[in-house]
Every structure is written in structure tokens, then in C-alpha cells.
Chain A
């Protein structure tokens, strides 16, 4: 069965620090999708990224970057020059099918960015 582990329960940083959120996954499938979602204090779930298992290229979007390594079954998320608005719970998720459906979520990492 698929499993997602986010070992960091909570991380606190000072504004402008870089921070990496770890995600390790388990699956027997060769085709799968990985996701990151952000849940700000308001409670909604905000989609950040979706990655296909065949695409191991790192991705950068502004201050966000993602490092996908199949060899270590990891899909880590780095925020560069963190800001207070980045304070949220971040979830990593893995699809249970080959199309990106039926997501299995990690327990989440609480990120607190202090000014």
C-alpha cells in the first residue's frame, strides 16, 4: 500500500531563512504522481505542484523549489528566503493510481516563519 511520511512535525524559522520540508513515499507502482499542498491558517487547501514519476527534473517556481529523487523515494520542498506568509501546514501526497487520483496524504509539516 502507498504511504507518505513527513517526518518533520513542525519547523520554525526566522524570516529570510531557507527551509526544506521532507517527504518520503512508498509505492509499488511504477507510474504515480506526487503532490504538495499548502494549508494556510484559513484552512483551505492550496495546490502547489504535481509531479509525474517519470519526470525527475527539479522544478523551481519563484521562491519554491522541489527536488524529486526516485532513488531515495523522496520529494522534498524548499522555500528560499522564507516569509511570514509562508506560515502554514504543508502536505505531501501520493496518488494511488497512475493518473493522479485517490491521493494518500502525509501527516503534514507545520511551518512557522517568525519576523
Chain B
């Protein structure tokens, strides 16, 4: 099993550009999450999904959109990137809320 994978690993965007981050899991987990982590900070929840076709807002959802069209994939979109969105983005999955979460390796995004 690959666990949780994230694509891409690194990306540099210019202000105003758009992009989509892909998270994939092969553990048949119901729940998936997107977090961001800024330097010296803990993780902050952006959006999460409790199952295929569902999404919900987390702590810092503004400027992001998500979709869960397939159970194994959770996409995070930035429609118009801003320098404040420079961060490391982690995806995670779990069989249920609060259960052990499995994290991906992260995507380092820089917006100039």
C-alpha cells in the first residue's frame, strides 16, 4: 500500500495563478483532510470530507476550494493564489473522525 500520496511535492506560483493539489489514499478511508502549516506553527485545518461527495470547512477555509468526487481522492484548489498562501500543505485520511490519521509527505507551495 502506498498510504497517502500528494502531488506535486513542490510548486512555485505567481500571485493570481491557480492550481490544484491532489491527495490520494489507498486505504479505503472515509475521512480526508487538508491542512496547512506555516513556519513555526502547528497544523491548521483548511477543509475536510466525511465521505465521497461531501466537504466541510475547517479552521482556515478562505481562498481554497475542495472536491471529493471519488472516495480515494481529495483535491484542494487555489483559484487565485496569494503570497499569504505560501505554506506546506498536508493531506491526511482516517477511517473515521478522530481516529488515527495517516498523513501524506506534504506539498511545499511558494507564491511570489
* Bind each other: no
